[in-house]
Amino acid sequence: MKVYLVRHGQTDTNISNLYNFRGEDINQKGIQQAEELKEKIKKMEFDIIYCSPLLRARHTADIINSKNKEIIVDNRLEERKHGNLEGKPIECTNREIYWSYPTHIRYGTEETVQNLFERVNDFLNELKSKDYNSVLVVAHKGISRAFHAYFDGIPEDGKLLQLGLENAEIKEYEL
């Protein structure tokens, strides 16, 4: 089964270097990026769309869904929960440590990388049992890091910060 992973379009916190707000939508550039992505994927075949429940991903999915495929919202595709870091400058944490798989350092009430990966692994393992030829998944940068780890392994040093999709970028995997 082919799995196409898309990251949502740009948000204001993406360009302000802040931890995302859970209810944040894509901005005008994010809408433009999604429209461009819609054209790029128009000829791609996929059976269904799975999407994060967060507004920025749902809005992106709605825009790129030119074939009017069913969209299934799955909570396991939600971005890493930043807890009390939401809206704070990303510099308030050491980003290498924040996105290091083996770390046990916590900056507040954020979800651990290990818990994020467990939910994404659960989603992908369940997806294996479905009878699809190809699936489009619309989610987040943290989710794309978890996909990378699932398909390509966790880097030996455990550092994940440099991994992940940019806004409205797409990557293909074989499940």
**Catalytic residue ranges:** 8, 79
Per-residue CA distances from 174 to 7, 65, 74, 75, 120 (Å): 18, 21, 20, 22, 15
Three-state DSSP class for residue 44: coil
**Closest residue by Cα to residue 24 from 65, 78, 64, 71:** 78
Which sign does the torsion angle of CA 117, 123, 124, 129 carry?
Answer: positive
Query: Which residue, chain included where needed, has tokens 């799955």?
Result: 74
